[in-house]
Structure formats: structure tokens, C-alpha cells
Chains A and B, each alone.
Chain A
């Protein structure tokens, strides 16, 4: 490769510009990619948490009543999300009572030992499968005494039933599990990355073209001045160079003309 052009001022400035622009573009692109990835993962997790908590609230009644149809409706509704791999409701012994899997490649069994029995605790596990990240959220379904709600008052007033009067302490009924993957997200991010890369390349190319045009404006008067100096040194005192502007380069050309 011929690096001779890099020895000239034009070459050095051009290299500096290209390097600087590429560095800035890569930094900007990397930062954008990181932020987009982080933001979308957080969104995905928050969305998953909201869905799984709603499912846990809805699952109390069918779990108490042993209503499999009601449980199946809840998991079908939960797994309808575009990013969901599947949803399941487990009984207090860890057995799956209702399951809906939309992407079986990323669906794995959750060992009973990994289920958290603490009320209100959402457990998140994360693993990579077939090139995408798979998140699994598991939240316990707890039956607590309804407090200060119209229905709670009604059954407190009833007092005699096996309802809240008898079930004051939180009771674990089972778990709700929701698994989702970043597959769709990865696709979206990849497309965004390609488009971003194209736009950045275009911007860098345009920036370079503009810089080179500017360099030409700077370097041309310097070259002319240098040629005049060489000719004066060779004894040709008749040669003049044009004064194109009233700036520093123009002042240099005028001074050189005065020397001859």
C-alpha cells in the first residue's frame, strides 16, 4: 500500500478526519446499541412482571376451586404476548396444572426445588438458548385474607364460613410461571443495527467528502505559494499567484507576490 499521500498535510488531515469520524461513529453506534438493548430488556422484564403478577392474582380463584378450565384460560391469555415462550400454572406440589407453550425450543421444566415459597417474591432466571436469551419469571400464588374490601367485609361479617375468617394466614396455592425470549427483540435490534449502520456509513462518507472539499480549499493556495517560492529561488521573479480571498491564505499569497 502506498502511504506516500499520508506524508502531505492533505493526507495527514484526511487520515485524522477519517479516523476521528470512524471513532465517533463506532462509539455512537456502540452506545446506541447498548442503550437500545438495555432499555428493551428492561421493558421486556417489566412487562413480564406485570403479566405474571396479574396472572397470579387471577389464578387464586381457580386454584382454590380446582377449576382447570379457568386456569387454562389464564395461561392462554398470558402466553398471548408476542415475546412469550409459554406460561404455566403449577399446583402447591409443583405439578403443572395448566400450560400453554408457543415456542417449545425455549421451554424447559422448572425444578420444584427452584420454586420460591415466599409471598410476593418474583424469581427471575436467565439463560441462553439457541442464540437468544430466555427469561423465566416465577411468582407464588398466595391466598390472603381480603382486607378492607367490600367482599372482605362481607365475609368477615359472615364469620362462620371457611373463607377469610378461617384463612387469616397467607396460604400458598401454587405458582405462575411465564417464560419469554429475546428472539423477536434480537430480530428487531438486528434490523435497527443494519439500518443504523447504513445511515452512519452514509453520514461518514458525506462527512469525508465535505472534509476533502474543505481541504482542497486550504491546500491549493499553499501549493501555489510553495511553487512561487521555488520559482523565485530559481531566479524567476516575474511569476505571480492569484490572491483569491482576504483571509490568512490570501495574505500569504499577497506577501509572496511582494517578495518577487
Chain B
């Protein structure tokens, strides 16, 4: 073999190797921009999560891999998600978010429909999301539209976790000309007596999504009190409106899913999850129980009826 010819072959081979390496590196960096794997992890099978997933898929428009935490064992689910090497995990619900944060601490996490994420330490450079908290001002404005005659509103919250909520609620109520009858409790055993006393002074009852108050027994008690005193009960969930409460301002879950999709796109475009500010759900809807309204002898104003979902 002539030395010159050998040289001719040796150079392109090195060059090809270099080119291949560069191409692989470029592809690895650019892959997210082409839409890599996204895992949607649902805490459990619940209608709000399914609505949010539908909203997410409609906005994201690329295929996603879905898992439900309640259906699969922790270790098996962890291994299956790990084998996919996802670009991002979209967690629908608190349990899914906590699972993802624990097992995939260095995978971008976008939580969706989580109440009070800061309380669960859902933050950091790998985490962003959409909380399901509805600001008290938004809630009070809608409730005011549904019951314009309410002047004094009894609101129940826990002393420890509800301080920030109470501050916001106080300000929003003052802006709307509503007087809040605040019942801040340290322990559930205080609720019954204080709620009965507050109900005498208020025109309506408000049960926010407080970690202590938002449980089945306080709800049943407040619902009974509402029916007994014929004063409307406002809550935080459409399911509780179906169970007998008069009205609730609830997040638009589809919109929340669409907001999560925006965050995922930004992550795939190269932004760090922690740099994308966590947001609250932008759209809400008023849900009213028509039967309860009739039982309480209340008529929903036409203006409020237009934008509300009235359950029969």
C-alpha cells in the first residue's frame, strides 16, 4: 500500500468519527426540542385529574405516557418511569407529585391540581407547576354574585395553616363590603360550638380548602348546620356542592392542564423548571346546587346563573 493513499483513508475515518460524535452530542441536546417522552402521573382515578389530563393533552398535542399511582406498586412504577428516561413528569395531584419528587429528584417535575404546594415543599430548581388554590378574592367575588344579599359571612379555618388565607380573605371581603365572622380554630373539637355561635351572627357559612376544616366530618357538620339554620354553605369543591352545599368556586381543571402543558413546552425548549414560576389556575367556575337553593328558598341571580354550572 502506498503511504500517500493510506493517509488519504486515515484522515476521513477520524473525521467521520468526529462528525458522528458531534452529531450524537447535538442530538442529545436538541432532543427535547423535538418532543421527547413526557410522563403523566395521576395520583388516582378521579374526575378532576382526568379533566386536567384532557386539557394537558389537548394543549401539548404530542403523545404522553400515562400512569396512575394508585394502580401500580411504588417500586415497579419507579422502574417503569425510569426506563422511559422522561424529559418531564407531569403529576396530577399531590401524591403523584410527592412520588415524583422523591424518586426522580433530578427530572423536571410539573405538578398540577395541588393545593398549597409550598406547604408540601414542592419547589426548587427541578419543580414548577399549577396549584389548584383559588384566591379568596376570586372566590368571594363569585360567591357574592351568587348570593348578593350576604353581608356577614362566617368563615372557618385553622389557626396554624389558615393565617395567610385569613389575611387575604379579610382584605378581599373588605373590598367587597362583606363582613367576615372569623372562626379560627386550634383543634377540631372547637368547631361545633364556635360554628353554632358564628352561624347566629352570619348570613352564610364558608368552608374553604383548609387542611383541618376540609375533611368529611366538619363538612357534614357544617352542611347540617346550614340546613338547620337555613343559611347557605359555600365550599371549595363541586363534589361538595353535589353533596348538598349551595355553591363553590372551583378551578377549571382543563385550563389547569393546559397551563401545565405550557410549562412542559418551556422545559423542553431548554428552560429550567425552577425558573418557570409556579402559578395558580387562571380560570374558575361557579357551581351551584339548584335543589339546595330551592330548599333554602334562594333564587340565583340571572347574572350569576349565566356563568354558573347549576346542578339540578
Q: Interface residues of B, CB < 8 Å — how many?
A: 42
Q: How far is the CA of A158 from the CA of B161 in the complex (A)?
A: 15
Q: Interface readout for B219-250 with A: 1 if CB under 8 Å, 0 if not?
A: 11100100000000001111110110000000
Which residues of B are found within 8 Å of A66, using beta-carbon distances? 188-189, 192
Contact (Cβ within 8 A) B217 A157: no
Report whether B115 and A70 are in contact in the complex, using a CB–CB cutoff of 8 Å: no
A163 at the binding interface (Cβ < 8 Å): yes
Quick check: is A65 within 8 A (CB to CB) of the other chain?
yes
Does B214 touch A at the CB level, under 8 Å? Answer: yes
In A181-239, the 8 Å CB interface with B consists of none
Which one, B47, B217, B239, B243, contacts A65 given CB within 8 A? Answer: B217
B95 at the interface (CB under 8 A from A): yes
Chain A contacts for B209, CB-based, 8 A: 158
> Which A residues are in CB contact (< 8 Å) with B235?
154
Given contacts A160-B115, A160-B116, contact A153 B192 (CB under 8 A): no
For residue A69, which residues in chain B have a CB less than 8 angstroms away from its CB? 192-193, 196
A159 and B188 form a contact (CB under 8 A): no
B43 within 8 A of A: yes
- Say yes or no: A151 contacts B239, CB within 8 Å: yes
Contact of A153 among B212, B217, B239 (CB under 8 A): B239
Which of B119, B193, B242, B243 lies in contact with A160, CB distance below 8 A? B119
Of residues 201 to 222 in B, which have CB atoms within 8 Å of A's CB atoms? 209-212, 214-221
How far is B120's CA from A163's CA once the two chains are assembled, in angstroms?
Answer: 16
Binds B, one of A56-64, A80-88, A252-260: A56-64
A162 on the B face (CB < 8 A): yes
Q: Contacts A64-B217, A65-B221: A159 and B43 contacting too (C-beta < 8 A)? A: yes
Asked if A159 contacts B189 (CB within 8 A), the reply is no
Known interface pairs A64-B188, A151-B219; A160-B239 also in contact (CB < 8 Å):
no
A150 at the binding interface (Cβ < 8 Å): yes
- Category for how many chain A residues contact B: 20 to 34
- Bound: A54/B44 CA distance, A: 31
Contact of B220 among A61, A157, A159, A162 (CB under 8 A): A61
Complex alpha-carbon distance, A157 and B235, angstroms: 14
In the assembled complex, the CB of B264 is this many whole angstroms from the nearest CB of chain A, namely 22
Mask, B25-65, CB within 8 Å of A = 1, is: 00000000000000000011011110000000000000000
Chain A contact residues: helix, strand, loop or mixed: helix
Contacts A64-B188, A67-B192: A158 and B243 contacting too (C-beta < 8 A)?
no
Residue A156 CB within 8 A of the other chain: yes
Q: Which residues of B contact A70 (CB under 8 A)?
A: 192, 221
Whether a CB of chain A sits under 8 angstroms from the CB of B129 is no
Are A153 and B46 in contact, with the CB atoms below 8 A? yes
Contact B46 A163 (CB under 8 A): no
Contacting residues, chain B, for A163 (C-beta < 8 A)? 214-217
Q: Is B108 an interface residue (CB 8 A)?
A: no
Of A64, A156, A159, the most chain B CB neighbours within 10 A belong to: A159
Interface presence of B191 (CB below 8 A): yes
Q: How far is the CB of A6 from chain B (nearest CB, A)?
A: 77
In the complex, residue of chain A having the shortest beta-carbon distance to the beta carbon of B212: A162
Complex: how many Å from CA A47 to CA B116? 47
- Chain A 31-66 interface residues, beta-carbon cutoff 8 Å to B: 60-62, 64-66
A152 an interface residue at 8 Å Cβ cutoff?
yes
* Min C-beta distance of B115 to chain A, whole Å: 5
| A107 interfacial by beta-carbon distance below 8 Å | no
A146 CB–B CB distance under 8 Å: yes
Q: A152 vs B217: C-alpha distance in the bound complex, in angstroms?
A: 11
Residues A150 and B115 in contact in the complex (CB < 8 Å), given A61-B221, A70-B221: no
Q: How far is the CA of A161 from the CA of B235 in the complex (A)?
A: 15
Assuming the A-B contacts A70-B221, A159-B94, A159-B95, are A152 and B216 also in contact, with contact meaning beta carbons closer than 8 angstroms in the complex? yes
Decide if A149 is an interface residue (CB 8 Å cutoff): yes
Chain A residues whose C-beta falls within 8 Å of the C-beta of B212 in the assembled complex? 161-162
CA distance A164 to B163 in the complex (A): 23
Which of chain A's residues have a CB closer than 8 A to the CB of B215?
Answer: 155, 161-164
B93 at the interface (CB under 8 A from A): yes
Contact flags A143-183 to B (C-beta < 8 A → 1, else 0): 10010011111111111111110000000000000000000
Contact assessment for B191 and A146 in the assembled complex, using a CB-CB cutoff below 8 Å? no
- Which residues on A sit within 8 Å (CB–CB) of B216? 146, 151-152, 155, 163-164
Q: Which 9 A-B pairs have the closest CB atoms?
A: A163-B215, A66-B189, A154-B239, A67-B192, A154-B237, A64-B217, A159-B94, A150-B239, A150-B242
- CB<8 Å pairs between A and B, sample of 19: A64-B188, A65-B191, A65-B221, A66-B188, A143-B217, A146-B216, A149-B243, A151-B216, A151-B220, A151-B240, A153-B239, A154-B219, A154-B239, A154-B240, A155-B214, A157-B113, A158-B236, A159-B115, A161-B215
Q: 9 new A-B pairs (CB below 8 Å) besides A67-B192, A159-B114? A: A65-B188, A151-B243, A154-B238, A156-B46, A157-B237, A157-B239, A158-B237, A161-B210, A161-B211
Which residues on B are within 8 Å of A, measured CB to CB?
43-44, 46-49, 93-95, 113-116, 119-120, 188-189, 191-193, 196, 209-212, 214-221, 224, 235-240, 242-243
